Amino acid sequence: NAGVTQTPKFQVLKTGQSMTLQCAQDMNHEYMSWYRQDPGMGLRLIHYSVGAGITDQGEVPNGYNVSRSTTEDFPLRLLSAAPSQTSVYFCASSYLSGKSGGYTFGSGTRLTVV
Amino acid sequence: EDKVVQSPLSLVVHEGDTVTLNCSYEVTNFRSLLWYKQEKKAPTFLFMLTSSGIEKKSGRLSSILDKKELSSILNITATQTGDSAIYLCAVEFGTNAGKSTFGDGTTLTVKP
């Protein structure tokens, strides 16, 4: 099993550019989410989804869009990149019920906005 | 506002020491508390706690939840340099299962 696959691993954007971070999981997890992690801080929830066609906002949703057209994929779109969005982004997934193993995380995307 | 607070923020110990990391929370509709270890890359799962007073153990690591005090501790005995990492506490909460809030983490440094 590949688990959670995130691409790209690194990205540099200019202010105002848009891009999509990809996330795919092959574990049939219902729940998927995007977090950002800034230096010295924990993970802050951007958006999450409990199933295909269902998404909701987390703590820091401004400047980001998501969609969940399939169970496997949960892309995160930056609409107009700003330096404040420089961060490490993690995608995470899990089952909704009967869960005993916490989240499975992707390897992360290090994004720099200049 | 739902929040998770970890203490201390950082800790430096020597190999062989025992450490206790703390996590307290204030959330609506608590579901579970999870501990993760983060080294250079993505967090990896350690424990999931849902019931008070039941200790979870894995080798030298153990954790327990106190739902009356809204807190949890993570103990590491006989620390090794490989235990150096950021330890993250997360609380799953709300009417929809799955959604979690993370604390800022405790950075543990174990010196030889």
Query: What are B74-93's pLDDT values in tens digits?
Result: 999 999 999 999 999 999 98
Query: Taking a C-beta distance cutoff of 8 angstroms, is the pair B105, B86 a contact?
Result: yes
Overall average pLDDT of the A99-104 stretch? 76
Say whether pLDDT at A98 is over 60.
Answer: no
d(CA B38, CA B76): 15
pLDDT value, residue A40: 77
The label of the residue with tokens 């799962």 reads: B45
End-to-end CA distance of chain B: 41
Residues with Cβ < 8 Å from B57, sequence gap 6 or more? none
Residue from A35, A21, A28, A31 nearest A2 by CA: A28
Q: Is the pLDDT of residue A1 over 70?
A: no
**B98 vs A35: CB contact, 8 Å cut-off?**
no
A64's torsion region: left (phi>0), alpha (psi -120 to 50) or beta?
Answer: beta
Name chain A contacts of B90, Cβ cutoff 8 Å. 43, 102
> Smallest Cα–Cα separation from A92: which of B21, B36, B31?
B36
Whole-number pLDDT of residue A100: 62
A42 closest CB neighbour out of B42, B88, B96: B88
SS3 state of residue A31: strand
Confirm or reject contact between A77 and chain B (CB < 8 A). no
Contact A64, A55 (CB under 8 A): no
Asked if A42's CB is within 8 angstroms of B104's CB, the reply is yes
- pLDDT-derived band at A2 (thresholds 50, 70, 90) equals confident
Tokens, residue B83: 């235990």
Residue B82, chain A, CB below 8 Å: the answer is no
Instruction: State which residues of chain B have pLDDT below 50.
Output: none
Asked if B44 reaches chain A (Cβ–Cβ under 8 Å), the answer is yes
The pLDDT mean for chain B works out to: 94
pLDDT tens profile A4-62: 999 999 999 999 999 999 999 999 999 999 999 998 788 999 999 999 999 999 999 99
Q: Do B103 and A107 touch (CB under 8 A)?
A: no
> If contacts are CB pairs under 8 Å, which of residues 92-111 in chain B contact chain A?
96-105
Question: What residues of chain B lie within 8 A of the CB of A99, using their CB?
Answer: 48, 97
Query: Which residues on adjacent β-strands are paired with residue A51?
Result: A54
Cβ contacts of A42-45, under 8 Å, gap ≥ 24: A42/B4, A42/B6, A42/B88, A42/B102, A42/B103, A42/B104, A42/B105, A43/A90, A43/B43, A43/B88, A43/B90, A43/B102, A44/B102, A45/B99, A45/B100, A45/B101, A45/B102
A98 touches chain B (CB under 8 A): no
Interface test with A, best of B40, B45, B51, B74 (most A CBs within 10 A): B45
